[in-house]
């Protein structure tokens, strides 16, 4: 294990601008609140190895890292590791502290959370990614970082080396193998040929009926009978806003031509406490045991909170398919498709 931190830091931190200034653990003072802990500081954490994890609760890439974060917190906290989750919102509803609190509890996030609604901690770290992991040694020097999913073994070996350097005794050098379910299951990267796709015009791509003259105003879309791979379309009365596609009348549909095992959709009801029933299909037919964790066997579900919904989980073989979701009442806001 000797030298693993130097090797990984050299490989993953080749651009010095990707790390905070001078490689020191930045302050958390610009956090807008804390969950699971009183406010933490670099000085107060001196003597402990610190893993800082940037996340936002709808990010499927982060959700797939969460089993490892929970396992590392459980395994190494007593040996001197402190995991600090920095929750920096991507979508507006993720800045609501009640939403963050509810979803952190539901996801079993028990380590300290710096609530970063104003992007203050994000800026202190000069961070640009969800998820992003920064590891600081017991002297407060950042020694390792990784952006995105994966590299779990290397990250854990870096944790182990920094703990040993800090004087921890009897560090278990085995690697965790956490179980995962639902959205936390790793993507089947060999079959993913569809990209993350935003529906709000601020970042959208692949919209078959795109017309800037219709932005920010209600329009009845008629849809296209055939969609090219990785294109999508609307049917029904929608307003395409900068942040999302917003359904104005019941019966609206979204279709997406995709190639992947999983289809996930970030969406929210337009009013607190609202519940919008929906149903999903593949190639115009019932799912036939291809439903995700947020639908029943018939492809029915309810949009009742702002979150990432897993709508499709297929079995082999994975081929080009057309996914469709129909909302049976008005009031749905659709933000972003992801695949796995």
Question: Per residue in 115-134, pLDDT tens?
Answer: 999 999 999 999 999 999 99
What is the overall mean pLDDT for the chain?
93
φ, ψ at 272 (rounded to 5°):
-60, 135
- Give the DSSP letter string of 104-143: HHHTT--S-EEE-TTSHHHHHTT---SSEEEEE-TTSBEE
Name residue 64's beta-bridge partners: none
Q: Give the DSSP H or E segment for 302.
A: strand 300-303
Contacts of residue 161, defined as CB under 8 A and 6 or more positions apart, other chains included, come to: 1, 2, 4, 5
Residue 9 has pLDDT above 90, yes or no: no
pLDDT of the residue at 15: 37
Cα–Cα distance, 77 to 108 (Å, whole number): 16
pLDDT of the residue at 14: 34
Cα–Cα distance, 197 to 204 (Å, whole number): 6
pLDDT of the residue at 88: 98
pLDDT of the residue at 13: 37
Alpha-carbon separation of residue 298 from 90, 170, 226, 266, 278 (angstroms): 32, 51, 24, 21, 11
pLDDT of the residue at 22: 55
CA torsion, points 89, 94, 98, 102, in degrees to nearest 10? -100
Contacts of residue 198, defined as CB under 8 A and 6 or more positions apart, other chains included, come to: 204, 205, 335, 336
What pLDDT digit, counting tens, does each position of 129-161 carry? 999 999 999 999 999 999 999 999 999 999 999
pLDDT of the residue at 273: 85
pLDDT of the residue at 23: 86
Helices 4-12 and 152-165 sit at what angle, rounded to 10 degrees? 130
**Alpha-carbon dihedral sign for residues 183, 189, 192, 193:** positive
Q: Where are the domains of the chain?
A: 4-184, 197-339
Q: For the chain, count helices (H), then strands (E).
A: 7, 17
Beta-carbon count within 10 A of 58 CB: 27
pLDDT of the residue at 19: 52
Domain covering 4-184: architecture: 3-Layer(aba) Sandwich (3.40)
Alpha-carbon separation of residue 258 from 11, 166, 253 (angstroms): 34, 48, 16
Residue 107 has pLDDT above 60, yes or no: yes
Beta-carbon count within 10 A of 202 CB: 11
Residue 6 has pLDDT above 50, yes or no: no
Whether the Cβ atoms of residue 180 and residue 67 lie closer than 8 Å to each other:
yes
Cα–Cα distance, 239 to 248 (Å, whole number): 7
Cα–Cα distance, 194 to 183 (Å, whole number): 17
pLDDT of the residue at 7: 37
**What pTM does this model have?**
0.92
- The tokens describing 239, both together, are 């307003």
Query: Mean pLDDT across the stretch 257-286?
Result: 96
Residue 11 has pLDDT above 70, yes or no: no
What pLDDT digit, counting tens, does each position of 195-220 carry? 999 999 999 999 999 999 999 999 99
Residue with token string 């702002």: 306
Instruction: Report the DSSP pairing between strands 197-198 and 332-339.
Output: antiparallel
Report the residue count for the chain.
340
pLDDT of the residue at 191: 96
Can you name the CATH fold of 197-339?
Answer: Jelly Rolls (2.60.120)
Residue with token string 């070996």: 157
Query: Mean pLDDT across the stretch 41-47?
Result: 97
If phi > 0 it is left, if psi is from -120 to 50 it is alpha, else beta; for residue 36 that is left
Residue 10 has pLDDT above 80, yes or no: no
Beta-carbon count within 10 A of 186 CB: 13
């Amino acid at each position: 294990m000797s030298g693993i931190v130097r090797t990984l830091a050299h490989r993953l931190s080749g651009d010095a601008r990707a790390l905070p200034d001078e490689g020191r653990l930045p302050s958390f003072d610009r956090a807008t609140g804390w969950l699971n802990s009183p406010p933490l500081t670099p000085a107060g954490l001196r003597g402990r190895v610190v893993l800082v994890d940037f996340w936002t609760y709808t990010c499927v890439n982060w959700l797939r890292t969460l089993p490892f974060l929970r396992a590392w917190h459980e395994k190494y906290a007593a040996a001197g590791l402190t995991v600090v989750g920095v929750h920096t919102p991507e979508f507006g509803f993720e800045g609501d502290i009640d939403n963050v609190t509810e979803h952190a509890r539901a996801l079993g996030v028990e380590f300290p959370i710096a609530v970063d609604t104003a992007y203050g901690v994000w800026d202190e770290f000069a961070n640009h990614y969800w998820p992003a992991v920064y590891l600081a040694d017991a002297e407060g020097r950042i020694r390792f970082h990784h952006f995105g999913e994966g590299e779990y073994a290397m990250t854990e070996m870096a944790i182990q080396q920094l703990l040993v350097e800090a004087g921890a005794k009897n560090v278990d050098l085995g690697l965790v193998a956490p179980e995962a379910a639902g959205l936390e299951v790793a993507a089947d990267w060999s079959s993913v040929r569809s990209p993350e796709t935003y529906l709000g015009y601020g970042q959208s791509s692949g919209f078959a009926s795109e017309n800037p003259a219709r932005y920010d105003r209600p329009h009845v879309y008629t849809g296209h009978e055939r969609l090219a791979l990785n294109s999508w379309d609307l049917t029904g009365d929608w307003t395409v806003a900068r942040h999302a596609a917003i359904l104005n009348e019941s019966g609206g549909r979204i279709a997406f031509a995709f190639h992947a095992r999983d289809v996930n959709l970030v969406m929210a009801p337009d009013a607190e406490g609202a519940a919008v029933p929906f149903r999903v299909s593949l190639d115009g037919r019932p799912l036939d045991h291809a439903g995700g964790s947020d639908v029943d066997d018939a492809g029915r579900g309810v949009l009742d909170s702002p979150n990432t919904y897993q709508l499709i989980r297929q079995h082999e073989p994975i081929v080009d398919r057309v996914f469709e979701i129909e909302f049976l009442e008005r009031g749905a806001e659709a933000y972003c498709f992801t695949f796995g």
